[in-house]
Amino acid sequence: MRGPDRRELARRLEALADFTDPTADLEQYLTPAELAAHVIHLARVQGDLEGGETGSGSQPIVDLGTGTGVLGIGAALAGAPSVVGIDVDRSALAVARENVRRVGTETTIASRLEWVQGDVTRHPFDCSRATVVSNPPFGAQHGNRHADRAFLETAREIAAVSYTIHNTGSQSFVESFVADAGGEVTHAFRAPFPVEHRFDFHTAAQAELEVEVFRIEWSG
């Protein structure tokens, strides 16, 4: 599969715009370019960006909770033939569309990207063997607990393989959830997640969180 190497992919993703008016309730944080490039590179090495085939045809790469489109655009840049980014926030999707133009190769990847407004927990499209990439809400805000679980439940329904980013300390929960569903966590690693001040409850100009990333093979 052709496409930029990991370093070049990170460089291109650095050019993408952030949320124009991020919402704390949705935990809207820009996925760091280095982390996104790492995840997409791993998916490419594993052969997970090729687009699986089922009786109903080719299966897309699905970016659940795409936000400004970092993971989805990264997948398209890395050569994925079909990418669907879904998010509940219309304004975030507008930024995602603008970000396709920012990477400077719009004519190359725009035809392979589709943006859908919808609730990822309600299965707004029909597929069963997709590759999912996702940086879901961590469920850290009051009233948004276990938000990442809902994303895992959707991934279980639509994916053959998924890559998800979670708050540190999530490994035992993720492994238990996946095992109960008959799947397997094949890769797990930790990575830095720099966060700039954006909400009133942030006390520092910038902080660096640690996150956990999982590659999951789902049964079925």
Instruction: Dump pLDDT digits (tens) for 95-114.
Output: 999 999 988 665 579 999 99
Q: Residue 56: what pLDDT?
A: 43
Angle formed at CA 184 by CA 129 and CA 30, multiple of 5 degrees? 70
- Between strands 206-217 and 113-117, the pairing is unpaired
Q: How many CB atoms lie within 10 A of CB 140?
A: 13
Instruction: Dump pLDDT digits (tens) for 143-174.
Output: 556 678 999 999 999 999 999 999 999 999 99
The model's confidence at residue 196, banded by pLDDT at 50, 70 and 90, is low
The residue among 68 and 219 whose pLDDT is bigger is 68
Q: How many CB atoms lie within 10 A of CB 63?
A: 32
- Do 118 and 127 form a contact (C-beta atoms < 8 A)? no
pLDDT at 54 > cutoff 50: no
Break the chain into its structural domains and give their ranges: 6-217
Q: Residue 128: what pLDDT?
A: 78
Average pLDDT of every residue of the chain: 86
Q: How far, in Å, are 9, 59, 125, 131 from residue 44 at the CA level?
A: 12, 15, 24, 11
Average pLDDT over residues 53-70: 79
SS3 137: coil
The model's confidence at residue 24, banded by pLDDT at 50, 70 and 90, is low
Q: Residue 155: what pLDDT?
A: 95
The model's confidence at residue 202, banded by pLDDT at 50, 70 and 90, is very low
Query: Does domain 6-217 sit in CATH 3.40.50.150?
Result: yes
The residue among 75 and 141 whose pLDDT is bigger is 75
Average pLDDT over residues 129-135: 94
The model's confidence at residue 37, banded by pLDDT at 50, 70 and 90, is very high
Q: Got the DSSP string for 74-136?
A: HHHHTT-S-EEEEES-HHHHHHHHHHHHHTT-HHHHGGGEEEEES-GGG--S--SSEEEEE--
Q: How far apart are CA 42 and CA 55, in angstroms?
A: 27
pLDDT at 127 > cutoff 90: no
